[in-house]
Each structure stands twice: as C-alpha cells, then as structure tokens.
Chain A
C-alpha cells in the first residue's frame, strides 16, 4: 500500500498520485505551494482542516480538487463560484477555495466572477492562467494573447485578451494578487496571506502548459517553457492596478495589487459590519 514519504503527503489523496497532468505542467508546482501555505496555517491552529472546502469546475486546474485530502466538489463548467457561494451561505464557517483555469473562471464563469467580487463573498478564487483551453484541445481562451494561432484561430487570434487582475481589482474584492509557477514562494506567501483574510480573495497564477500552449507558440519542452516564462515574470512590491500588465512580449507583472478591508457578504448578513 501507499505510505507517506513526501512532506506534503498528508494533504494528498495518495491513491490518485501521480496526477493526470502532463510532464512539466506548472499546476503541480502551484498545488505544492498552496498546500505548503495551508499546512503552515493548520499547524498554527488558525484554520480547521475539517472546515476547508475545495471547489473546482472543469479543466486541468479544476482537477486539483481530486488530489487534495479535503472535502471537495467537482461541479459543472464555469459554475464553481456559485457552488462555493451556496456552500458558504449555508455554512458560514466554511473556508471555500475555488480553483479553475482561465477558461473556467474568466471565460465560461466570467459573469459569476464579476458578481462574486462585487458582493465580496467570503471565498478564495485561484485562477490558473495558461492562456488557452488546454484540456479540450487548445481552443482560444479569453486570456489568449493577440496573434497566437490556436486550434480555433489557425490564422492567429484577432481578439484582445482580458486582464482578470484589473477586472477583479476594479470591483469590491478584498485581495487581488498575481503569482507565477516559476516563483512558487510567492504563491505560498500570497495564499498564506489570503487564508488569513475575509471577503473575496483572488489570486491569478500564471502557469506553464508545455503540451498544449507550448505547441501553439513553439515551446514544447517543459524546461524551455519554464525558463521562457521565468524571463518574462517581473515582481513589483505592491504595484498599482495600472501596472498589472500580462503580455508575453512586454512582460508579466506579479505582486499584490489590491488589499482592502471592506465588509464581506457574510459579515454584512450577520450584522457584524455594514
């Protein structure tokens, strides 16, 4: 039988490891960093592991909820945020963590993202940006940069991409940050901070996808794609929302963009703060 060897094994469903992810996929790096932050919070006693709920929609990154040894729900495409909202309203003690890709959260579930941020619902949304709908075969996503040829845009993407950090930051969200899988210590740091806050917390994690997105832009090798992404990532200390650019040519700015202490939906409903 399986026995615990890796330091994070107690947070994983070992019968499902190794994961379904392709070799060199950045999602596993991010999952490790998230679990390290959660482990730190649990060992400090600030979070009860029985109250943690992971919710994922459809996609590679949403499958992350299969591998964590916590209560988890796998729901229909784009509807992970409404499910988490219902769970939190029914049981306000829950800590809801929503994982999903850019297609799931910003594309199909884009409307839910906007309104959950506007209402400042108590949940953490982790959006893994790989610039493409990877699991379904590499179709164009709302974050795909202009000019990239994908399965559905063979002559190059003619549309402008969405910047989810600017979008969510312009609403009522309490915490908006962006990290990259090439800087796992920042994922850990930002998620650790988000776990200690209330309200809507949004972290965008720029991920590598050597198998599908790498095929479209000519970086099939995991190490090559990792090093190309690492060259483009720039950390800034508490940058403003205007600086939150995400562009393969001009660079990807990571950091904590927004930090507010607005009353959250649960606090308003309970009458703690209005």
Chain B
C-alpha cells in the first residue's frame, strides 16, 4: 500500500525573504541542486525517501538569494523556491 500523502511530504525551510521546499519522494539524489547553488544553501540530508534516496535539505536558508537555479536545474520537479510575502 502506498503511504498516505505519498507525493506531498515536503521538506521546507524559510527565512523572511525566501522559502525553499523539497518534495521528498520525487528526489533522485543526483546532487545537481547542491552543485549549482551559488551560496551553498543545500546540503544532503539523512532523510530517506520511499525509493531510498537522500533528498537535499536547505540548511543554510539564511544565505538564499532567491536565484532559483536549483529549481531550474532540478530534473525531477522536486525543489522550488518561493518569495515569502
């Protein structure tokens, strides 16, 4: 049986300016988002998703400049950046 809310579990962190959200079960741990981030916001987490991959965690969210390079370079629609209003 599929776990409840299988695709909707989100790892999200926000500061006063930006919120970075990771859709945990879509991530395939390719590491491109961690590589392209210019301010090194993302770090590989110890969370395991249902396919056995480790999604990234926006630990250093206070450094986020909202460039959305992680969102643009994610091959699996797993990460997105929003402006906090």
Contact = CB atoms under 8 A, between A and B. Distances in A.
A17 B7 contact: yes
B80 A7 contact: yes
Main secondary structure of the interface of B (DSSP, over half): loop
Q: How large is the interface on B (under 10, 10 to 19, 20 to 34, 35 or more residues)?
A: 20 to 34
Interface string B53-85: 100000000000000000011111110100000
A33 B72 contact: yes
A223 B77 contact: no
Given A185-B72, A227-B35, A18 B30 contact: no
B71 to A, nearest CB: 8
A223 B74 contact: no
Interface string B17-59: 0000101011011111011000000000000000101000000
A137 interface: no
A270 interface: no
Given A17-B7, A18-B26, A223 B32 contact: yes
Contacts of A6: 23, 77-78, 80
A147 interface: no
A21 interface: yes
B8 interface: yes
Contact of A32 (B7, B26, B28, B72): B72
B75 A25 contact: yes
Contacts of A156: none
Interface stretch (A8-16, A42-50, A110-118): A8-16
A23 B72 contact: no
A200 B85 CA distance: 43
Contacts of B31: 24, 222-223
Contact of A24 (B32, B51, B80): B32
12 contacts: A6-B77, A17-B77, A18-B26, A19-B75, A23-B28, A24-B30, A27-B75, A28-B74, A28-B76, A29-B74, A32-B72, A33-B72
